């Protein structure tokens, strides 16, 4: 047999059946399958894998974009025009610098292929250039037009740091020298409609742009012609490609276009038609299409064929968020999909979580963040090894040598923004409660960092109220149906206990209704409005979660904070009447019923209306706290 037979995939010819040659072919096929499975496991081990995010950090306003540069910096941008630089470290990330880059929102952001330059644009006709490694602003340009999207487009040998900026009111794409005087060097006139998305393939020195009408163009950024490039392209006419895909399908123009690290593939994604498309760069042909429409997801939920099945209440809540997201034209612009470093996997956000899809096998290999309540929009992936800068071979990665494994340990971080959230979230291979080093108390560090300073008013309110809120070890909730004695966990969830005890000692909970009662689930109270829409912390507003791995909703009588998503705790709390493991990692457990479960079950058994509100009022009379000595 020739050497090329090792590349054959498929059924064996009849002439080979039963022969020694057939056995050789079958052995080679099994060897390849085994190798591919092992290779896939290695690649997956270099990707985030948890259902919960490990940490989150704040901006003052809702985040729009995030990206990871080749120089291992993380850049985050928000709608108020602020830009933050973060550096990856062996322990996670650390803050580097904060820029008030624009007065308006940042509507486009791009880093060059070397990871040394960053460009941002805003509707206020501003273009700003940053030196990433020195975290410094090096150029400001006042544009004569409103920009729509931006991308760097130059090779390392180019004398100019070429930057392409599209016009929001025409099909023109203007070329600038990022380090120049801000004058327009060239104008590319390939489109008749404003360009919605474009990106640069550094390996093949090619820009792909898609306009608002769905027309897709390949072009070289080298002046003066800006014509179809020849390097890496296997077609001469669009009729030989699938580049009319968006033109044929109305309302399908994507919000993102990202190239694979090897340059051979690119992926487009947007909420206009909720379809992920993977393309072959050389041929312009579609390789894969994944339909993530709400109709398809609903059908899979009903049939039980989705990668994860949610309970009906949670699925309904997520569908409501999707409808709200579809109504937000601004938020829909930020959705994207990205490749991993191997170019084997595509990662993209859905209402079920972040899917990791093996492109070659066309299957979902993993689901990240499925247990979170937030709706992820924009992704950026870091797959570096902070403790080692050398390239890791496949053989080294597969080695069981402990020294090699420790030295080349990859610490992947998936950076994600979320709908209507002023935080970005870090998904890793660690659960939120895990800590490095000698620390053993997982509750010592909260996963939601409050890195933005509170206002003077918030500081004064916190100072006054914190003095009243001493920690307690237990408390008795006196209700109109009897007393409930609970044990508190101040050592594990100090801030949550401080908030709850502060409210209790200040008589905040007096006369509060048990406004939500669900049999075989829980009873909820703590809302001053009595309808589940009110309440705040003792500091005013909301505060972060204190998720602790060993404190779980694993039995009746668990006392836990009610919330509307991550870091949204106020005053409302609930007591479980059955195990509710799906709440783990989403709600802060801060106590447990020691006496009075009969009272809890009595509340559980009352008649309720269609909104789960008891027909007869059941109230908290007051709460007695036993203070720590």
* pLDDT value of position 463: 53
Strands 376-382 and 363-368, how do they pair?
A: unpaired
Give residue 59's domain range: 45-430
Q: Is 318 a catalytic residue?
A: no
Q: Compute CA distances 164 → 103, 150, 197, 263, 439, whole Å.
A: 22, 6, 11, 19, 49
Please indicate, yes or no, whether residues 502 and 556 belong to a single structural domain of this protein: yes
Mark whether 416 and 470 lie in a shared domain: no
Query: Is 360 inside any structural domain?
Result: yes
Active-site position among 46, 563, 569, 572:
563
With H, G, I as helix, E, B as strand and everything else as coil, classify residue 13: coil
Which DSSP letter does residue 592 get?
A: E
Query: Which value, to the nearest 10 degrees, does the dihedral of the CA atoms of residues 529, 534, 540, 546 take?
Result: 130
524 is catalytic: yes
Is 442 a member of any domain?
A: no
Residues 90 and 23 in one domain: no
Contact 591, 626 (CB under 8 A): no
pLDDT score at 366 = 95
Query: Do 59 and 21 belong to one domain?
Result: no
Six token digits for residue 157:
């040998």
What tokens appear for 612 in the block?
Answer: 């789960």
Tell me the per-residue pLDDT of 37-90, one tens digit each, with 9 for 90 and over: 778 888 999 999 999 999 999 999 999 999 999 999 999 999 999 999 999 988
Q: What is the 3-class SS of 326-349, one letter each residue? A: HHCHHHHCCCCCEECCCCCEEEEE
Residue linked to tokens 């949610």: 310
73 is annotated as an active-site residue: no
| Distance from C-alpha of 450 to C-alpha of 149, rounded to nearest angstrom | 32
User: How far apart are alpha carbons 374 and 353 in whole angstroms?
Assistant: 9
Residue 445, in any domain of the structure = no
Would you give the DSSP letter of residue 610? T
Residues 176 and 120 in one domain: yes
Among 430, 449, 483, the domain boundary falls at 430
Residues in the chain, pLDDT under 70: 1-35, 386-408, 433-446, 454-470, 628-629
| 411 sits in which H/E element | none
**Cβ atoms of 257 and 208 closer than 8 Å:** yes
* 102 found inside a domain: yes
The reply to whether 478 falls in a domain is yes
Is residue 572 annotated as a catalytic residue, yes or no? Answer: no
Number of residues written out for the chain: 629
Q: What's the pLDDT at 250?
A: 85
Task: For residue 521, indicate whether it is catalytic.
Answer: yes
Is residue 478 among the annotated active site residues? no
Per the residue annotation, which of 447, 512, 515, 516 is the catalytic one? 516
Do 313 and 277 lie in a common domain? yes
Same domain, 604 and 489: yes
Which of 170, 241, 166 minimizes the C-alpha distance to 207? 166
Give me the number of domains the chain comprises: 3
Q: Are residues 33 and 142 in the same domain?
A: no
Flag whether 99 is in a domain: yes
Q: Write down the catalytic residue from 425, 583, 590, 592.
A: 583
Which member of 345, 419, 574, 590 is catalytic? Answer: 574
587 is catalytic: yes
């Amino acid at each position: 047999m020739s050497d090329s037979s090792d590349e054959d995939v498929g059924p064996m010819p009849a002439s080979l059946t039963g022969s020694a040659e057939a056995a050789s072919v079958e052995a080679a096929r099994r060897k390849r399958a085994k190798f591919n499975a092992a290779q896939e496991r290695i690649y997956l081990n270099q990707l985030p894998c948890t259902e919960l995010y490990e940490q989150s950090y704040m901006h003052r306003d809702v985040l729009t974009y995030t990206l990871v540069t080749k120089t291992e910096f993380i850049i985050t941008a928000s709608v108020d025009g602020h830009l933050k630089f973060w550096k990856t470290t062996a322990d996670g990330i650390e803050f580097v610098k904060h820029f008030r880059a624009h007065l308006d929102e940042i509507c486009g952001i791009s880093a060059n292929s070397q990871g040394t330059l960053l460009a941002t644009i805003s509707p206020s006709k501003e273009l700003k250039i940053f030196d990433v490694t020195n975290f410094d602003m090096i150029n400001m340009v006042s544009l004569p037009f409103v920009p729509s999207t931006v991308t760097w487009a130059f090779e390392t040998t180019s004398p100019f740091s070429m930057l392409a900026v599209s016009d929001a009111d025409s099909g023109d794409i203007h070329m600038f020298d990022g380090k120049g005087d801000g004058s327009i060097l060239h104008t590319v006139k390939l489109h008749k409609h404003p360009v919605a998305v474009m990106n640069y393939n550094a390996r093949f020195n090619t820009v792909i742009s898609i306009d608002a009408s769905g027309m897709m163009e390949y072009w070289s950024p080298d002046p003066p012609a800006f014509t179809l490039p020849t390097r890496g392209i296997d077609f001469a006419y669009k009729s030989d490609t699938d580049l009319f895909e968006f033109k044929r399908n109305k309302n399908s123009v994507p919000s993102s276009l990202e190239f694979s690290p090897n340059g051979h593939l690119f992926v487009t994604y947007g909420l206009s038609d909720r379809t992920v498309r993977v393309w072959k760069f050389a041929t312009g042909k579609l390789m894969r299409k994944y339909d993530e429409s709400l109709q398809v997801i609903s059908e899979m939920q009903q049939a039980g064929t989705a990668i994860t099945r949610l309970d009906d209440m949670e699925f309904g809540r997520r569908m409501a968020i999707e409808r709200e997201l579809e109504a937000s034209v601004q938020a829909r612009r930020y959705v994207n999909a990205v490749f991993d470093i191997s170019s084997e996997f595509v990662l993209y956000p859905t209402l079920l979580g972040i899917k990791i899809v093996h492109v070659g096998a066309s299957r979902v290999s993993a689901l990240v963040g499925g247990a979170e309540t937030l709706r992820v929009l924009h992704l950026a992936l870091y797959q570096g090894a902070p403790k080692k800068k050398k390239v890791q071979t496949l053989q080294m990665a597969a080695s069981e040598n402990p020294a090699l494994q420790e030295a080349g340990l990859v610490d992947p971080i998936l950076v994600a923004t979320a709908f209507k959230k002023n935080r970005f979230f870090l998904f890793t291979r660690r659960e939120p409660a895990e800590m490095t080093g000698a620390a053993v108390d997982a509750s010592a560090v909260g996963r939601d960092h409050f890195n933005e300073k509170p206002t003077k008013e918030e500081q004064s309110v916190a100072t006054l109220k914190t003095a009243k809120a001493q920690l307690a070890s237990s408390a008795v909730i006196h209700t109109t149906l009897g007393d409930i004695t609970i044990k508190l966990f101040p050592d594990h969830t100090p801030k949550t206990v401080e908030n709850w005890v502060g409210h209790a000692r200040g008589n905040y909970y007096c006369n509060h209704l048990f406004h939500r009662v669900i049999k075989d689930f829980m009873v909820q109270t703590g809302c001053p409005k009595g309808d589940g829409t009110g309440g705040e912390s003792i500091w005013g507003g909301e505060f972060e979660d204190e998720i602790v791995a060993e404190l779980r909703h694993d039995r009746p009588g668990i006392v836990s904070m009610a919330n509307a998503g991550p870091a949204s705790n106020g005053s409302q709390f609930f007591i479980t009447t059955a195990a509710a493991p799906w709440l783990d990692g989403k709600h802060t457990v801060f106590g447990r019923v020691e006496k009075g479960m009969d009272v809890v079950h009595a509340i559980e058994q009352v008649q309720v209306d269609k909104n789960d509100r008891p027909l007869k009022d059941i109230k908290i009379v007051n709460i007695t706290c036993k203070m720590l000595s």
